[in-house]
Amino acid sequence: MAAHTTDYISTFIEVAEDCPAEAAQEPPSATPTIAALHYQLIAEHPFSRTSDDVIFETYARRKGMDPGDQRAREEFFSRGQACLRSSPLGKRYGWGIVSDDQGRVALVPRESDEYARLAADPGIAHTRAMRSRRG
How far is 107 from 89, CA to CA, in rounded Å? 9
Residues 6 or more apart from 128 whose CB is under 8 A from it?
13, 14, 15, 16, 17, 85, 90
| Residue 2 clears pLDDT 80, i.e. is over it | no
Give 61's pLDDT tier (boundaries 50, 70, 90): very high
Q: What does 9-44 look like in DSSP terms, one character per residue?
A: SSEEEEPPTT---SS--PPP-SS--HHHHHHHHHHH
pLDDT at 102: 97
- Tell me 86's DSSP state: G
- pLDDT per residue over 85-106, tens digit each? 999 999 999 999 999 999 999 9
pTM comes to 0.93
| Residue 60 clears pLDDT 50, i.e. is over it | yes
How far is 8 from 99, CA to CA, in rounded Å? 6
